[in-house]
Amino acid sequence: MKNNQRTHQNWLIKQKWEHVMFLTWFIDPELIRNKVPFELDLIEGKAAISIVPFKMSKIRFRGLPEIPFASALLELNIRTYVRVQNKPGIYFFTLDTDSFFGKILANQFFKLPYEYAKISAEFPLPDKSEYRFFSSRSEYQWKLNASIEDEITKKHETDLWMTERYHLFQKHRGKTLMGTVIHSPWNLKRASINEISGNFMDTIGIKTSTTPDHILYSSEIDVHFPSFVEISEG
């Protein structure tokens, strides 16, 4: 994207996202409106909540080598979709990682609500399609077994609405922070659920159906982040 090319030279941290799965439920906006400090972005009158498991690798700060003990980690997050200053973006309810050091870095530099969890994963090999992910934090657990399917040659409107978002927004000590995510458009595939279970949604007090309404998968994407900035919502 051209607007991302302009800020690409100002990046603070670089990373690769691998085996990203978007599992999305469309819900009544009133179920989460009082849980989100920003205007909800709706699609056909519905709010959306996504659980997103993936691997983050090749993490490094600008001018430095990859971070010892934290150059790769597993992540599981719950997000919704918001609009701030008329910019479509993402709001994270919670982000779990299997890296203590990664948690500290994310909390310190990006003010994001990371939590430590025990996470394991088995990602699809070139000749296989099976995707497995398991996470456990306190009394909360989540398990996924999915199959990766064909590549999407023509993205639907919902695919674009969910993935073409290059900002994330967070509240910290009464301030509104905006992060800019710099990457190329997603290469996406369809996926199907073989097994999904657990109570991870309980961490934010939301009940949904077991099976998501919409599923996407991407094998990898290179990502740059500039520093987060404080903005006005006016």
- By the 10 Å C-beta count (0-12 exposed, 13-18 middle, 19+ buried), 121 is classed as middle
pTM for the whole thing?
Answer: 0.93
- State the maximum Cα–Cα separation within the chain, in Å, rounded to a whole number: 51
Residue with tokens 């599923």: 215
Cα–Cα dist 222/209, whole Å: 32
Which CATH number fits the domain that encloses residue 96? 2.40.400.10
Q: pLDDT tens digits, residue range 87-122? A: 999 999 999 999 988 888 778 777 899 999 999 999
pLDDT for residue 8: 62
Whole-angstrom Cα distance, residue 208 to residue 128?
30
Average pLDDT over residues 165-183: 94
Q: What is the CA 190 to chain-centroid distance, rounded?
A: 17
Strand pairing partners for 133? 121, 144
Which range marks the domain in which residue 63 is found? 2-231
Q: How many structural domains is the chain composed of? A: 1
What are the residues facing 56 on neighbouring strands? 17, 73
Q: What is the pLDDT of residues 12-45, one digit of tens each?
A: 889 999 999 999 999 999 999 999 999 999 999 9
pLDDT tops 50 at residue 3:
no
CA atoms of 128 and 101, how far apart (whole Å): 32
